[in-house]
């Protein structure tokens, strides 16, 4: 799910290698996923253009004219506070692993790793790779670095599920929606409950966890073999993810009391991120009910995290604008607010990384691929 907030473990810490046939097949299609990312990014830009074209030009200009420049400090300030909270969560988890990082070191790594997701890769993979690189450069073993990122990602994603449950629950009881939309919200709410139950089972059903993860890994492998055979990762990578996920959860449970503070920082991070979006509407002098804000936020962020488009470009804005408009927010207001959110939450950190952390950014950009054998 979450980029930076959502690290999908793809590190290779098992000494197993793909067979020759599988390796040659991967080499033959090595550049294909990159081409798809470029095409997806172009599609994202096209969606943004369509949003602007679909808006009424006069209303859009009026909405832009309503922006209070001083109030833009609200989403920008919330963005800085969000990154501080995120860095503190990583620092706390690293401390639980007996890995000393100063706050400033972790803040820079978090800033650069997250920014990399907006430029390069999908699903949080490049951010994970960059963070892994900087951790191992500090002398942290690849296994420990993987556990730190996985622990943070697991807590973060479970926290996002909490927001999704609240959001879809609000939608299901909303009188503004048609019966069919309420029914769809109910189905999605049930799905969120199921995923939450699965996450809790992974945490507390320790004796059955390996079996659950194994079944999920097999199901993923078979589904991708049927749906996307050319781009399916090698089975060894799925096995590594299976092992890393189990190890990351063990890491959490073995240090459950030490995880309380990082968990609190992760929740604070989500609240601050939600306030970035709320601040965007405040800049337009438009009040959005809390339930509406949560559902637009949760749906937009979730879709952007699972998207193959870098940073969920276009998809996040389109889904947020659609949800807000469905729930009574003027379309032009929804579009401008989501664009302010995009600039504050994504563009500003990226520009900051390029100018203030340029050395780290360039170094990290060269290590967005997770090395074999780590």
DSSP 87: H
What 3-state DSSP class applies to 7?
Answer: coil
Alpha-carbon distance of 1 to 6, in angstroms, equals 5
Alpha-carbon distance of 171 to 180, in angstroms, equals 12
**If we measure between CA atoms, which residue out of 183, 215, 106, 221 comes closest to residue 152?**
106
Is residue 252 a contact partner of residue 27, using CB atoms and an 8 Å limit? no
Is residue 80 a contact partner of residue 279, using CB atoms and an 8 Å limit? no
User: Is residue 3 included in any domain, yes or no?
Assistant: no
Alpha-carbon distance of 249 to 241, in angstroms, equals 12
What pLDDT score was predicted for residue 150? 79
* pTM recorded for the entire structure: 0.76
List Cβ neighbours of 62 (8 Å cut-off, separation of 6 or more).
Answer: 332
Is residue 6 a contact partner of residue 123, using CB atoms and an 8 Å limit? yes
Six-digit token string for 293: 């804000």
**If we measure between CA atoms, which residue out of 85, 105, 88, 104 comes closest to residue 96?**
88
User: Is residue 288 included in any domain, yes or no?
Assistant: yes
User: Is residue 13 included in any domain, yes or no?
Assistant: no
Q: What residues make up the domain containing 245?
A: 20-365
**Torsional class of 174: left (φ above 0), alpha (ψ -120 to 50), beta (otherwise):** beta
User: Is residue 11 included in any domain, yes or no?
Assistant: no
Which residue has better confidence, 125 or 155? 155
What 3-state DSSP class applies to 166?
Answer: helix
Is residue 337 a contact partner of residue 281, using CB atoms and an 8 Å limit? yes
Alpha-carbon distance of 370 to 374, in angstroms, equals 8
**Torsional class of 124: left (φ above 0), alpha (ψ -120 to 50), beta (otherwise):** left
What pLDDT score was predicted for residue 279? 95
Which residue has better confidence, 326 or 126? 326
Predicted confidence (pLDDT) at residue 214 exceeds the cutoff of 60:
yes
DSSP 141: -
Q: Please give the torsion angle defined by the CA atoms of residues 132, 134, 137 and 138, in that order, rounded to the nearest 10 degrees.
A: -110
Runs of H (alpha helix) within the chain: 20-28, 32-54, 57-65, 73-96, 103-119, 125-137, 142-172, 179-204, 206-227, 235-254, 260-283, 290-306, 315-326, 331-342, 348-356, 358-365
User: Is residue 327 included in any domain, yes or no?
Assistant: yes
Is residue 350 a contact partner of residue 112, using CB atoms and an 8 Å limit? no
Q: How far is CA 2 from CA 152, 161, 223, 228, 353, in A?
A: 11, 11, 22, 23, 19
pLDDT band, very low/low/confident/very high, at 29 (cuts 50, 70, 90): very low
User: Is residue 61 included in any domain, yes or no?
Assistant: yes
Alpha-carbon distance of 293 to 166, in angstroms, equals 11
User: Is residue 68 included in any domain, yes or no?
Assistant: yes
Instruction: Determine the length of the chain.
Output: 374
Query: pLDDT tens, 315-344?
Result: 888 888 888 888 889 999 999 999 999 999
Half-sphere exposure of 64 (CA within 13 A, CB side): 9
Predicted confidence (pLDDT) at residue 243 exceeds the cutoff of 80:
no
What pLDDT score was predicted for residue 335? 92
pLDDT band, very low/low/confident/very high, at 30 (cuts 50, 70, 90): very low
pLDDT band, very low/low/confident/very high, at 355 (cuts 50, 70, 90): confident
Total count of domains within the chain: 1
**If we measure between CA atoms, which residue out of 74, 289, 91 comes closest to residue 175?**
289
User: Is residue 12 included in any domain, yes or no?
Assistant: no
Query: pLDDT tens, 282-308?
Result: 999 999 988 788 888 888 877 776 656
């Amino acid at each position: 799910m979450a980029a930076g907030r959502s690290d999908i473990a793809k590190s290779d810490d098992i000494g197993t290698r793909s067979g020759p046939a599988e390796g040659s097949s991967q080499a033959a299609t090595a550049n294909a996923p990159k081409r798809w990312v470029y095409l997806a990014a172009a599609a994202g830009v096209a969606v943004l253009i369509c949003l602007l074209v679909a808006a009424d030009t006069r209303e859009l200009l009026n909405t832009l004219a309503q922006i209070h420049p001083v109030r833009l400090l609200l989403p920008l300030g919330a963005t800085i506070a969000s990154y501080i909270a995120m860095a503190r969560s990583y620092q706390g988890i690293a401390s639980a692993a007996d890995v000393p990082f100063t706050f400033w070191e972790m803040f820079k790594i978090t800033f650069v790793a997250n920014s990399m997701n907006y430029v390069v890769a999908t699903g949080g993979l490049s951010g994970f790779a960059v963070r892994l690189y900087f951790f191992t450069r500090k002398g942290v073993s690849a296994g420990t670095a993987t556990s730190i990122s996985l622990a943070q990602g697991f807590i973060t994603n479970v926290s996002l599920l909490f927001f999704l449950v609240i959001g879809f629950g609000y939608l299901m009881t909303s009188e503004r929606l048609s019966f069919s939309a309420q029914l769809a919200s109910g189905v999605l709410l049930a799905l969120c409950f199921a995923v939450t139950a699965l996450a809790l089972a992974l945490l507390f059903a320790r004796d059955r966890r390996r079996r659950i993860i194994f079944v999920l890994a097999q199901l993923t492998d078979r589904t991708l073999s049927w749906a996307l055979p050319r781009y399916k990762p090698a089975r060894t990578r799925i096995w590594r993810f299976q092992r890393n996920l189990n190890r990351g959860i063990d890491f959490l449970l073995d240090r459950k009391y030490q995880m309380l503070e990082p968990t609190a920082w992760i929740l604070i991070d989500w609240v601050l991120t939600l306030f970035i979006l709320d601040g965007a509407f405040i800049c337009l002098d438009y009040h959005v009910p809390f339930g509406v804000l949560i559902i637009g936020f949760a749906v937009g962020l979730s879709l952007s995290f699972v998207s193959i488009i870098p940073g969920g470009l276009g998809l996040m804005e389109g889904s947020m604008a659609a949800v807000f408009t469905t729930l009574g927010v003027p379309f032009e207001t929804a579009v401008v607010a989501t664009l302010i959110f995009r600039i504050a939450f994504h563009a500003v950190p990226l520009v900051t990384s390029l100018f203030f952390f340029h050395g780290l950014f360039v170094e990290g950009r060269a290590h967005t691929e997770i090395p074999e054998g780590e």
